[in-house]
Homo-oligomer: A and B are copies of this chain.
């Protein structure tokens, strides 16, 4: 389903810290997005430790790829060997680039620092290669065009590791060279359809066969808790057709067509309807309001959140009748209803959502096992609805699942209003 791009691009990230887990490798995702906008793909990404390990990885990539992008190892220290090893692997001599040396000296003087001898090697460049200026650091990048000396048919980009240096250098130097290499003019479109309440296998069962018949379409699923993303890539016509087929089956479950999160969609719907939301949370402990307030501008539509973890809080903050708590228990349809109606009344909001459930590990019973939750949904001037959820998962995943189901209930109710 993933078609290899017109030009095969591999990315090699060097950095021991990436493999020890000290640092998250955000380069892969960043390059993916940048290259995708150029109509290109990464066919492989590799992470190797600092030092000599780049040698083997680079040699292998040069055989497979049309272009190899290497990040890191351009610094002044003893384990910054990317420049030296690349020249060696390509059989190119390293010489000092005068312009690079001057700008290196300029970098230090402009910052009132003195350049140490170790920095001198940062001005070295393989004969015939291009220096890529670095406005934000000491390490210039290097571009080695393909077939420079017959050793390799692949182009090689050496770029610095730190994002603040890498990103501007990439934007200034890489796209024009990649365009020239690939001859790609037309850029594919992409559409991300986000769904909830359906599983990945439902899509496979429902539409895989038909999507796979659409010429020039790439598609893939990505499952999160209570959510499946369908990614469509191709020309406008392929995407239109794939979207039509997909929505014919799953439109009721559609959260967004632009990758927007469920909470962002809920905030948008609230704004469109000029309504405010109140939350009353027991088992989710504030996760629902936390998700809502992650959305910029949510203060326009979210005003009051009640985290009523204890029964006493349900009574005092939301006026839940003690009788309901005693007769039916905190995790019950009646209490979920009373919480939602209490939140609506206390906050004066247009819509209020309430959840109460058993996150575990303790607190489960035969009749109400860990993973059970009740949701109440109250609307000003409308009838209150209740829903029962069962998400038998670990504590955090249970909270995430319940918040997802509750926000989806809000989304569907808002669509009706």
Contacts and interface: CB of A to CB of B under 8 A. Distances in A.
A394 to B, nearest CB: 7
B77 A200 contact: yes
A46 B49 contact: no
Interface stretch (A35-43, A125-133, A146-154, A172-180): A35-43
Interface string A267-301: 00000000000010100111111101110111100
Interface stretch (A82-90, A250-258, A303-311): A303-311
A1 B307 contact: no
A199 B113 CA distance: 10
Contact of A396 (B46, B112, B294, B360): B294
Contact of A42 (B19, B51, B208, B224): B19
A352 to B, nearest CB: 13
**Chain A interface category by residue count:** 35 or more
Interface in A10-65: 15-26, 28-34, 36, 41-51, 53, 56-57, 60, 64
Query: Nearest 5 CB-CB pairs, A to B?
Result: A285-B293, A305-B307, A21-B32, A286-B286, A21-B33
A17 B204 CA distance: 15
Chain A binding site: helix, strand, loop or mixed by DSSP?
A: mixed
Given A28-B19, A285-B292, A289-B285, A49 B2 contact: yes
Given A1-B79, A77-B204, A305-B309, A47 B28 contact: yes
Given A118-B204, A296-B395, A299-B310, 20 more contacts: A17-B222, A19-B32, A20-B231, A25-B29, A45-B46, A46-B46, A75-B200, A116-B201, A164-B225, A284-B293, A285-B286, A285-B289, A285-B293, A285-B305, A286-B287, A286-B290, A294-B396, A296-B361, A306-B307, A317-B346
